[in-house]
Amino acid sequence: MRVLVLGSGAREHAMVHTIARSPSVDLLYAAPGNPGMAGEAELLDLDLADLEGLADAAAEHAIDLTVVGPEAPLAAGIGDVFAGRGLLLFGPLAAAAELEASKVFAKEFCFRHGIPTAAAEIVRSLENAERAARKFGFPVVLKADGLAAGKGVLIVNTESELAVALDELFVARRFGAAADRVLVEECLEGTEVSFMVVSDGTRTESFATSHDYKRVGDGDTGPNTGGMGSHSPAFALDDALREEILETVIGPTVAGMAAEGREYRGILYAGLMLTADGPKVLEFNCRLGDPETQSVLRRFDGDLAAVFADASRGRLEPGCMGWKDDVAACVVVAAENYPASPRLGDEISGVDEAEALPGVVVFHAGTRKDGDRLVASGGRILSVTAIAGTLADATDLAYRGAGRIAIRGAHMRSDIGADTLGKIGKGNG
């Protein structure tokens, strides 16, 4: 197969790294890609917002399978454009990608199909949002309906935070039309896990479980980010819980989407809170998680391109994804002042030295070439990943790798995996 991967982040670099090792792949392209992918794929300078241009390029390069990394092209209908031109693409059609693109659609879908999720009210005005927030009591969660680059969720603990949140959503309109409708939602307590499956419209196969670290600071403090690290497996999920999630969330979601004429083919990602009353849906995504994927795919054993092609054709093979017993960890190296206003352009050194450590692979995200130099071009610069026999060894190794990388002002969390180790014990996993 000739395969094209769309995207330019560390998640897509991990996908390229894995697909490059797929026995079924002869030729691999990435667009627009990043310097880290350049050794494993031929980069095409394409605009992910130009769906027709992407289809033209896929036809021109005789691509057999296009794999979409991020959500925006899926929500914009890249699946529909490619299908209309007879081009095979891995990812849901726009009608199915609504599960991520509209939090109101997803919430009402869960209510319609009895899928466990946080109680919520859908509101359109500041007054109704305020009334609903008081009804739920603090803490309460306010969510813009539409895509907001992962920033449209506001967890509100006090009156003054509520005032700020209502202002951002309805007055300053920080999220624009994405906040025309807002979910006011019960705040759930428990352990958060990411559960990802590949779906062919009827059947699903599960990815290894994972846990991601969203807040910028140690101990889960500070603002939410695009993700500061991850590990796989999640450890909080045993076989019984995995079965429960498949039965109560994944199965009914895939069946419900099919029943509503929105057959779901692609990645289905459920962000779940493991509550005292069982797993409940926080969100759905229509693509792989970032930075979960960087950990999860380090453990993949199989032919990822074949899995994606089979799912796209509606004939997923049972047991097509195997997982190494090793534990994987990922530490994100971020630019100074990320997430508020990351400073860009600083030189990056030490990537080769990090990868000289056995078990370490560095995935690029916010990097670009400036002549011979590698420089930072985004807030999350690199994902340093490691695999080892235990979580303690995997995180140690990832931190040793990250320690070899030098970027002026860069920062990372120092506690990826620490909370999990506290629960499972150092010698385990």
Residues 119-148 that bind ligand AMP (CB under 6 A): 141
CB nearer to ligand AMP: give 141 or 354: 141
Gyration radius (Cα) of the chain, Å: 21
Q: Are 181 and 124 in contact (CB under 8 A)?
A: yes
Residue 2, CA atoms < 13 Å, CB-side half-sphere: 11
Binding site partner of 188, from ligand AMP, ligand GLY, none, Cβ cut-off 5-8 A by kind: ligand AMP
Q: What is the DSSP string of 93-108?
A: -HHHHHHHH-HHHHHH
Residue 71 interacting with ligand GLY (CB under 6 A): no
Q: Which residues contact 196 (CB under 8 A, 6 or more apart)?
A: 206, 207, 210, 267, 268, 269, 270, 288, 289, 292, 296
> Do residues 199 and 254 touch, judged by C-beta distance below 8 A?
yes
Residue among 181, 183, 182, 185 nearest 119 (CA): 185
Task: Return the one option of ligand GLY, ligand AMP, none that residue 38 interacts with (CB less than 5 to 8 A, by type).
Answer: none
Distance of closest approach, residue 288 Cβ to ligand GLY, in angstroms = 7
- Provide the CB-side half-sphere exposure for 148 (13 A, CA): 25
The verdict on 282 binding ligand AMP (CB under 6 A) reads yes
Q: How far is the CB of 238 from ligand AMP (least distance, A)?
A: 21
In terms of CB distance, is 81 or 385 closer to ligand GLY?
Answer: 385
Q: For residue 162, what are its two tokens?
A: 């509520």
Distance CA 44, CA 101 (A): 27
Is the Cβ–Cβ distance between 328 and 356 less than 8 Å? no
Helix (H, G, I), strand (E, B) or coil at 16: helix
Query: Which listed residue (73, 79, 227, 229) binds ligand GLY by CB under 6 A?
Result: 227
Our CB check for ligand AMP shows the closer of 19 and 216 to be 216
Binding segment (CB under 6 A) for ligand AMP, from list 33-41, 180-188, 259-267, 324-332: 180-188
Shortest approach of ligand AMP to residue 118 CB, angstroms? 4
Under the binding rule (CB under 6 A), the answer on residue 118 touching ligand AMP is yes
Q: State in angstroms the smallest separation of the CB of 7 from ligand AMP.
A: 19
Among 271, 291, 302, 359, binds ligand AMP (CB under 6 A): 271
Nearer of residues 209 and 367 to ligand AMP, judged by Cβ: 209
Site string for ligand AMP, 205-244 (x = CB under 6 A): ---------x------------------------------
Q: Which of 129, 149, 124 is nearest to 140 (CA)?
A: 129
DSSP 37: G
Of 17-25, 186-194, 200-208, 240-248: span binding ligand AMP (CB under 6 A): 186-194
Q: Which residues bind ligand GLY (CB under 6 A)?
A: 150, 212, 227, 285, 289-290, 292
Interacting residues toward ligand AMP by CB under 6 A: 118, 141, 150, 153, 185-188, 192, 214, 271, 282-283
